[in-house]
Amino acid sequence: MLLDVGDVFKALVDPTRRLILDELTERDGQTLFEICARLTTKHGLGSSRQAISQHLDVLEAAGLVETRREGRYKFHHIDTAPLVPIVERWLRPERWGPA
Partner 1 sequence: MGTGVRIHLTSVLVDDQEKALRFYTDVLGFVTKHDVPLGDARWLTVVSPQDPDGTELLLEPDGHPAVKPFKEALVADGIPFTSFAVDDVETEYERLRGLGVRFTQQPVDMGPVTTAVLDDTCGNLIQIATQAG
Residues contributing to the site for partner 1 (CB under 8 A): 27, 30-34, 37-38, 41-42, 49, 72-75
Q: How far is the CB of 70 from partner 1 (least distance, A)?
A: 9
Phi, psi torsion values for 69, nearest 5 degrees: -90, 130
Please list, in sequence order, all residues whose beta carbon lies within 8 angstroms of the beta carbon of residue 45, skipping any fewer than 6 positions away: 16, 19, 39
In this complex, which beta carbon is closest to partner 1, that of residue 55 or of residue 82?
55
Q: How far is the CB of 48 from partner 1 (least distance, A)?
A: 13
Contact criterion met (CB below 8 Å) for 76 and 30: yes
Look up residue 30 and give its DSSP letter. B
CB atoms within 10 A of CB 55: 20
In this complex, which beta carbon is closest to partner 1, that of residue 41 or of residue 91?
41
Q: Which residues pair with 30 in a beta bridge?
A: 76
Q: How far is the CB of 69 from partner 1 (least distance, A)?
A: 8
In this complex, which beta carbon is closest to partner 1, that of residue 8 or of residue 58?
58
